[in-house]
Amino acid sequence: MKIGELARATDTKVETIRYYEGAGLLAPPPRTGGNYRSYGSDELSRLSFIRRARDLGFSLDEVRELLTLADDRDQPCGAVDAVASSHLATIERKIADLAQMRDELARVIGSCRLGKVGDCKIIQTLEPMRGAARG
Partner DNA sequence: CTTGACCCTATAGTTGCTAGAGGGTGCATA
Partner DNA sequence: TATGCACCCTCTAGCAACTATAGGGTCAAG
Kindly list the residues in this chain that would bind DNA in the complex (CB under 7 A): 2-5, 7, 13-16, 18-19, 32-37, 54, 59-61
Cα separation, 55 vs 46, in Å, equals 14
Say what angle helices 41-55 and 60-71 make with each other, to 10 degrees: 130
Buried b (16+ CB within 10 A) or exposed e, 54-66: beeebeeebbbbb
Least distance from C-beta 55 to DNA, angstroms?
A: 10
Residue type, 75: Q
Least distance from C-beta 105 to DNA, angstroms?
A: 15
Our finding on whether 27 is near a second copy (CB under 8 A) is: no
Our finding on whether 33 is near a second copy (CB under 8 A) is: no
Cα separation, 107 vs 101, in Å, equals 10
DSSP state of 27: P
Our finding on whether 90 is near Zn ion (CB under 5 A) is: yes
Our finding on whether 88 is near Zn ion (CB under 5 A) is: no
Per-residue x/- track, 101-130, Zn ion (CB under 5 A): -----------x-------x----------
β-bridge partners, 37: 31
Cα separation, 135 vs 130, in Å, equals 11
Per-residue x/- track, 60-99, a second copy (CB under 8 A): ------x--xx-xxxxxxx-xx--xx-xx--xx-xx--xx
Q: Which is nearer to a second copy, 27 or 109 (CB)?
A: 109
